Structure 1
Amino acid sequence: MKTFRLATLLVAVLLCALAACSDQKPAPEIPPTTFVLVHGAWQAPYVWQPVQQRLEQQHHKVIVVELPGHGSDLTPPQALTLNAYRDKVVAAIRAQPNNVVLVGHSLGGMVVTAVAESIPARITKLVYVGAFLPANGQSLLALAATDSTSQLGAALVPSADQLTLDIRPDRLVPVFIQDGSPAAQQLVAGNYRAEPAIPFTNPVTVTAANFGRVDKYYVHTALDNAVGLRLQQRMAAAAGIAKTYTLRSSHCPFLAVPDQLSEVLLALAR
């Protein structure tokens, strides 16, 4: 009899517990972040693949934009401007149903700045990775001229028509990815293309009403031989960026230290 009563009591307790659980609403799901990644000069979407893979493993959506005249895009260099780059990224963002975290590397920093000025309401966070960050009216060329530690300028070889810029083959790895694995260095060298020159000269217009309202972050690349750390710090300070990160990396952290860069981006998504 005691055994029967004990069993009855246990069943009653279990039923009450199940009823209580059924009253609890499931925790709301946090929607995945949409990242839009923009590569820099002399490169293409391939550089973002290790980071893209890590972000997607955490169920985020990743859009990697191929700038005109880079990768497989054969737009002639005389037809390219910074605005053409901007428009390609703007179109990619407008095609997404949600607002995005926009990330630019190197030259891509000029591009994402112009994008943020154009569609600030579509960008939740703007992230610069070893990137050029212009003030109003500045071009990449003007910013690069103030970089006393960069090794890039001495390695450049302009084409006869001044429409493209090459890098001396022996300087490509030392300037871009001196700390990368042999496989990563070969990836950069094997995918190399001459860079369209006109967008380097195009100034960016930014206003407090548009660009100024976007939440900004800077990821410094402390071992950078292309965009010197001191220039990076000056640009971030001039833009009023208070939240910065620093990676002990060359100019290509997505290939040299992809896990570390991915962790920074994942932290921003949280």
Structure 2
Amino acid sequence: MKKLISAAASIAAAATPLPALAGPTKPTIVLVHGAFETAEVWGYVVAKLEKDGYKVKNIALPGRPGNERAVTEISLDLYQRTVASAIADETGPVVLVGHSFGGFTISAEAEAEPQKIKTLVYVAAYIPRNGDSLLSLATADSGSKLGPVLDIDKEHGLASVKPGAGGGVFASDGPQQVQDAVSGAVVAEPLAPLATPVTLTADRFGKVDKVAIRTLRDQVISTGYQATMIKATPVRLSLTIDTGHVPFLTQPDALAAEIEKAAG
């Protein structure tokens, strides 16, 4: 029997192998967090996407723990250049996923380097048009409950969430322990990028594929206002997830599945 197995192995080794059938190349998924957050919010989603065979890059924007920078140096342009630097070595398709204010960051990057981007995915995110700023969009959202829990420190150029108030607004669909964790994890946000109008053109940003994942119980960007933005900037695919503003914490596996649908 051993001789038979050995002979079969020798024949197999000598035979000309058939060419492997290459499957479709999965895109690199690049995750961009929003305001009052750090890259750590994506941790559970990163694990699920990597388990499913995706290469994932989780970007820590400057001006917060994990990527400290003086507030006076922080700008929307710096956020865009941070994303550009992270994907500079990518030669295959790239899917940019932005949460909340991250919608501005990924839109700015698509305007700068449309040829690098396969798809923009907006998760509970602002979808800006040319000349919009976060401030202009946020003040137009009458359904948002974020305003009353914000503190604006113009002297130091920072916006922050009132202590203990963030969890109930950001993670409104989560259990109390998740809400408490969110309240303790929110960070101060540099003001300058929030007030900066973004420049977007039809020939660059306008030609990049777009998908929206709308959060149906969102109290930060109301689901109705998310629908309004989707109507103003049509997307290829509009998906929904029955969560509040931070689905990466309350339903990470479900969010990962929707991101994979968007990525194609």
- What is the TM-score when the length of structure 2 is the normalising length? 0.90
- Give the deviation of 1:53 after TM superposition: 0.3
The offset of 1:24, in angstroms, is 5.7
Aligned 8 A contact 1:43 1:188 in 2: no
Q: Deviations over 1:93-131 (max 9, x none)?
A: 113232300000001001000000000011111100011
Moved more, 217-226 or 24-33: 24-33
Paired residue total: 251
Give the Cα–Cα distance (whole angstroms) in 1 for the partners of residues 260 and 237 of structure 2. Answer: 15
Q: Which residue of 2 aligns with 1:154?
A: 148
Residue 241 of structure 1: how far off its partner (Å): 1.5
AA of the residue aligned to 1:36: V
**DSSP-derived class of the 1:89 partner:** helix
Aligned to 2:115: 121
Q: Which moved more, 1:152-161 or 1:202-211?
A: 152-161
Which of the pair has more CA radius of gyration?
1
1:132 to 126, 129, 132: 126
SS in structure 2 opposite 1:75?
Answer: coil
Structure 2, unpaired ranges of 5+? 1-11
Per-residue displacement from partner, 1:59-91 (whole Å, max 9, x unpaired)? 110001101112322212222111111110111
C-alpha separation between the residues in 1 aligned to 2:179 and 2:25? Answer: 36
Q: Letter of the aligned partner of 1:75 in structure 2?
A: R
- Corresponding residue for residue 5 of structure 1: none
C-alpha displacement at 1:166, in angstroms?
A: 1.4
Shift of 1:182: 4.3
Aligned AA for 1:180?
G
Q: Which moved more, 1:156-165 or 1:39-48?
A: 156-165
**For the residues of structure 1 that align with 2:93 and 2:17, how far apart are their CA atoms?**
34
1:188: Cα distance to partner? 2.2
1:162 deviates by 5.3
Structure 2 Cα separation of the partners of residues 142 and 162 of structure 1: 21
RMSD, aligned CA: 1.8
Q: Tell me if 1:248 matches 2:246.
A: no
The separation in 2 between residues aligned to 1:242 and 1:25, in whole angstroms, is: 35
Alignment-derived partner of residue 8 in structure 1 = none
1:184 paired with 2:178, answer: yes
Instruction: Find 1:85's aligned residue among 76, 79, 83.
Output: 79
Is there any run of 5+ residues in structure 1 with no aligned partner, and where?
1-17
Question: For 1:257, which of 251, 255, 262 is the aligned residue?
Answer: 251
Contact kept in structure 2, 1:152 and 1:225, CA below 8 Å = yes
Counterpart contact for 1:220–1:232, Cα < 8 Å: yes
Aligned to 2:60: 66
1:218 aligned residue:
212
Identity of aligned residues (%): 36
Cα offsets for 1:154-205 (capped at 9, x unmatched):
1111125151011112321111002224453344233222111111110001
Deviations 1:216-239 (CA, angstroms, capped at 9, x unpaired): 000001111111111111111111
Match of 1:174 among 154, 165, 168: 168
Of the candidates 261, 265, 268, which is equivalent to residue 262 of structure 2? 268
Name which of structure 1's ranges 177-186 and 202-211 shifts more when overlaid on structure 2: 177-186
Deviates more, 1:112-121 or 1:234-243: 234-243
> Given that residues 45 and 71 in structure 1 are in contact (C-alpha distance below 8 angstroms), is that contact kept between their aligned partners in structure 2?
no
State the TM-score, normalizing by the size of structure 1.
Answer: 0.88
Letter in 1 for 2:110: A
Report the equivalent of 1:109.
103
